[in-house]
Amino acid sequence: MTITQLRYIVALDQFKSFAKAAEHCLVAQPTLSLQVQKVEQELGFELFDRKKNPVITTKLGKAVVDQAKNTLKEADKLFEIAGQWKDEPAGSISIGIIPTVSNYLIPSIYLSLQKEFSKVNFRISELPTLTILEKLESEEIDLGILATPLKIPNIVEHPLYYEPFVVYYPKDAKEKSTSVSMKHIEKYPLLVLGEEHCFRHQSLKICNRNALAKIESGSVETLKRMVDMGIGVTLLPKLAVGKSSERVVPFQSPEPAREISLVYKKGFYKSKILKKLTSLILDAIPMEYHSKEKYKIIGVSLNQD
């Protein structure tokens, strides 16, 4: 059996669907189905119960899948070694990134990723914090890009940059200050993201509000449009704002900010990819956000995400 066939059976075990597994592996469904069948014929028993929907991995199949994961990990290490000799990253990498970072970071680095990681099979998924951590633990993804500090024993945090929070006002707001404090915004209804977003809880912590906000949304862009209608104010990550506007006002010093980090499970070995990815991200982030000295870092509350 081949490395590719092992990737197929691991994907099928993960997604419980031939169609979804094929989509994940970037192959046609008949191709994946045929290769899984060849592995079963070679081993002499079924790995998956196809009569069930979703597909169920058999008891023997589960043992094979677990070994396949170990084999793929060792194979990736070989690619990593090869990449060291070639002085370029190689192998595969899967990355989970929170939505409030991905909306500006991925467009900024994607073309560079394609160029610098030409020998790497990389996959990027937009996911909430808890899902990223769960997938890191189960080794479904390799890296996460999210707000920290988390202080989880089995997770390593590699801080990248520090992003201040800013206030986004409605068009008819009378506030003309160059910076704001709590007294400037407490008279406005606060619009925040939904429960699954750590940015929501950081916003509530900054504004000292425990009650539910007037509007909750899953999208920063939706919140901005609601503010445009004059419904209230919202907090935004500075790098997601784009062009400066008199309606976007920073907080008074020390500005509240979030720490954005690359996180990975202890034992992560793809050091060349990690180093190159770190460099690409920092190149896309203005130097003023590389240091946390002038900011007040707002922590992440995992029990609320």
H-state helical runs in the chain: 3-15, 18-25, 29-43, 59-86, 99-116, 129-137, 182-185, 198-206, 220-228, 271-284
Q: Output the average pLDDT for the chain.
A: 86
As a whole number of Å, the end-to-end CA separation of the chain is 42
Q: Of 50-54, 153-157, 160-164, 210-214, where does mean pLDDT reach its minimum?
A: 210-214
pLDDT at 243: 66
Residues 6+ apart with CB under 8 A from 298: 165, 202, 205, 206, 256, 257, 258
pLDDT at 213: 53
277 residue type, one letter? L
pLDDT tens across 179-214, in order? 888 777 777 888 888 777 888 888 888 887 654 455
pLDDT at 47: 94
Rounded CA gap, 143 and 265, in Å? 8
Q: What secondary structure letter does DSSP report for 298?
A: P
Rounded CA gap, 211 and 231, in Å? 17
pLDDT at 174: 66
Higher pLDDT, 285 or 91: 285
Q: Of 76-85, 142-151, 248-257, where does mean pLDDT reach its minimum?
A: 76-85
Q: Both tokens of residue 305?
A: 């995400």
Is the pLDDT confidence value at 84 over 60? no
Mean pLDDT calculated for residue range 275-298: 93
Is the pLDDT confidence value at 66 over 70? yes
Is the pLDDT confidence value at 137 over 70? yes
pLDDT at 17: 93
Percentage of residues in the chain having pLDDT higher than 90: 44
pLDDT tens across 225-256, in order? 888 888 888 899 999 886 667 788 899 889 99
Is the pLDDT confidence value at 176 over 60? no
pLDDT at 304: 44
pLDDT tens across 258-267, in order? 999 999 998 8
